[in-house]
Amino acid sequence: MVIFLIAVGLSLVFGTLQVLNLAHGSLYMLGAYLCYWISATLSQASGSYWWALLFAPVIVALFGGLMEVLLLRRIYNREVLDQYLLTFALILIIGDLCKLAWGVDFLLVPMPWPLNGPIIFMGMVFPRYNIFLILCGPVVFVGLWALIRYTKLGRIIRAMTYNREMADALGTNVPLMYTVVFMLGCWLAGLGGALVVPMASAMPGMDMVILIECFIIVVIGGLGSLSGAFLGSLIFGLVNAFGILIVPRLAIAFGFILMIIVLIIRPWGLMGKPE
């Protein structure tokens, strides 16, 4: 379910800014490392992980905002290839900076208190933290949906997605809103990273793995669609789980095959709109 958080951020940014942010996985990794770092620094205080969970995504969002203002803004009107290469360059830079700062070891945060034990549900034993993660997905989904549906910010985002020039002409500060949306996407990526650390540890290379999976999900669901990202994560999760059961070594290929099938039958994704 964590992957939904990251995929939905990618999809949101693409839907509004029309930029496919390849560095999205790197922001997720950054979130994971920052979460480790903050909770390790505060390890004396109680509830250090919760502080980290609060601050790490915010720092990632600020970093993303900086990225947008300094770099991305220059290339909205350029060729698509330039956007790919710019965000790809950011993957390399962020990846290496994380290596410089935190080394190449696997960094694990201990399970935070009230969630560090098992829970017994209908006679079966589950780790509490997994339940917490599973709940996070729908909570964020509903939150985002409400944000886009019912707030002023959401209306502006929808207007910009629909017609950028018109929104601009009607007095929306489009560049500022782009920064805001991009930061929101980064915050989601950072949140995903911070949530995953107690379970899977922070390590180099996690950015690429998640990025490829996110691509599959947003393409299946439809780029730029919230519910598509949600549906895509569910389908991808199921296919991946079955893949691991049947032929564990080729699990990721199943995801790609699924993506190819979807692209051929419905190139705009399951929940997307045809161009």
Partner 1 sequence: MESFFKKYFEGRAIILVVILVIFAVLPLILPVGWLSLVNEMLILAVAACGLNLILGYAGMVSFGPAGLYAVGAYTTALILIYTKIPFGIAFIAGPLIAAAASILIGWFCVRLTHVYFALLTLAFAQIIHTIVFEWYGFTKGDDGIVDIPVPAFLAPIVNYYYFSLIIICICLALMWMIVNSPFGKTLQALRENPERTEFIGIHVRLYQLSAFVLSGFFLGVAGALFCGFNKNVFPNYAHWMKSTEMLVVCLLGGIYTFIGPVVGSIVYVLLDKVITSFTQYWPLVLGLVVLALLIFLEGGIVGFIFRKAARSKQKGG
User: Which is closer to partner 1, CB of 259 or CB of 271?
Assistant: 259
Question: Smallest distance, Å, CB 82 to partner 1?
Answer: 6
Sign of the C-alpha dihedral computed for residues 231, 235, 241 and 244 taken in this order: negative
Toward partner 1, which CB reaches closer, 90 or 191?
90
- The SS3 assignment for 22 reads coil
Residue 221 Cβ vs partner 1, minimum distance, rounded to whole Å? 13
Strand locations in the chain, DSSP E?
A: 118-121, 124-127
Closest CA to 189 of 64, 100, 90: 64
CB-based contact 97:72 (threshold 8 Å): no
Question: Phi and psi at residue 268, in whole multiples of 5°?
Answer: -95, 5
The whole-angstrom separation of Cα 17 and Cα 51 is 31
Is the Cβ of residue 18 or residue 172 nearer to partner 1 in the bound state? 18
Minimum distance between the CB of residue 151 and partner 1, rounded to whole angstroms?
28
CB of 29 to partner 1, least distance (A): 14
d(CA 32, CA 6): 12
Q: Which is nearer to partner 1, 189 or 216 (CB)?
A: 216
Which residues would be at the binding site for partner 1 (CB under 8 A)?
Answer: 14, 20, 71, 74-75, 78, 80-82, 84-86, 88-93, 95-97, 99-100, 212, 215-216, 219, 223, 249-250, 252-253, 256-257, 259-260, 263-264, 267
* Nearest distance in Å: CB 102, partner 1: 14
Q: Phi, psi at residue 44, to the nearest 5°? A: -70, -40
Residue 23 CB, shortest distance to partner 1, in Å, is 10
Task: Give the rounded distance of the alpha carbon of 49 from its chain centre.
Answer: 20
Of 91 and 157, which has the nearer Cβ to partner 1? 91
Name which of 12 and 86 has its Cβ closer to partner 1.
Answer: 86
Phi/psi zone of residue 201: left (φ > 0), alpha (ψ -120 to 50 degrees), beta? left
Q: Could you tell me where the DSSP H helices lie in 170-224?
A: 174-200, 206-221
Residue 242 beta carbon to partner 1: minimum distance, rounded to whole angstroms: 16
Helices (H) and strands (E) in the chain, counts: 11, 2
What is the residue type of 108?
Answer: L
